[in-house]
Amino acid sequence: EENITVTEDFSRVDNTYQVDAEVCIMFTDFGKMQNFCNLLTEKLGTAVTISPPHFYHTPEAIDTLRRQVCVAAVGNTRQKAQEVCRLFGQSLGKPLLIKEEETKEWGGHMDSYLPRSPDSLTLQERIHNATAYASSRVFAVFEIKGKENRRNKLL
């Protein structure tokens, strides 16, 4: 409910009253927004006008994206190190050092040569322009364990 703003305008036309309402809703799920818009259109028909959506990312969402990308980079690094160890008949131990060396963030076609007004963009172009991307480069050092003899494991 804190993500909904309603503005109503009452007016008298001849002997009747007319109510115009503007409802602004902040959605965090694109699918739910589409379903809600479809429901309104289905139930109210031409009595409702749905404006194109405005997309943006909260600072919290961008921070979550940064963390997820860094964790994924560390996971990828560990997986690659594990594959190299297997190649040499070794096993990967615990991490000794993990350091995030570089992070990059970018979004959509912000460097487009032909600036267009936001209202002239298609929904797909709006989504693309609002999509946030991030990358993380990490450095990791892992302990390498020699393969234990099977005979020693049985004892």
What are the angstrom distances between the C-alpha of 102 and each of 30, 66, 71?
A: 30, 11, 13
**In total, how many domains does the chain have?**
2
Answer whether residue 51 is part of any domain. no
Residues 85 and 141 in one domain: yes
Percent of the chain with pLDDT over 70: 86
pLDDT digits 0-9 by tens, 74-132? 999 999 999 999 999 999 999 999 999 999 999 855 444 445 565 678 888 888 888 99
Is 50 among the domain residues?
Answer: no
111 and 79 in one domain? yes
Examine the domain organization and report whether 94 and 127 are in the same domain: yes
pLDDT for position 1: 60
Which CATH number is 100's domain given? 3.30.110
How many angstroms separate the CA atoms of 114 and 49, rounded?
Answer: 29
Query: How do strand 90-107 and strand 132-146 relate by DSSP bridges?
Result: antiparallel
Range of the domain at 10: 3-44
Q: Is residue 54 part of a domain?
A: no
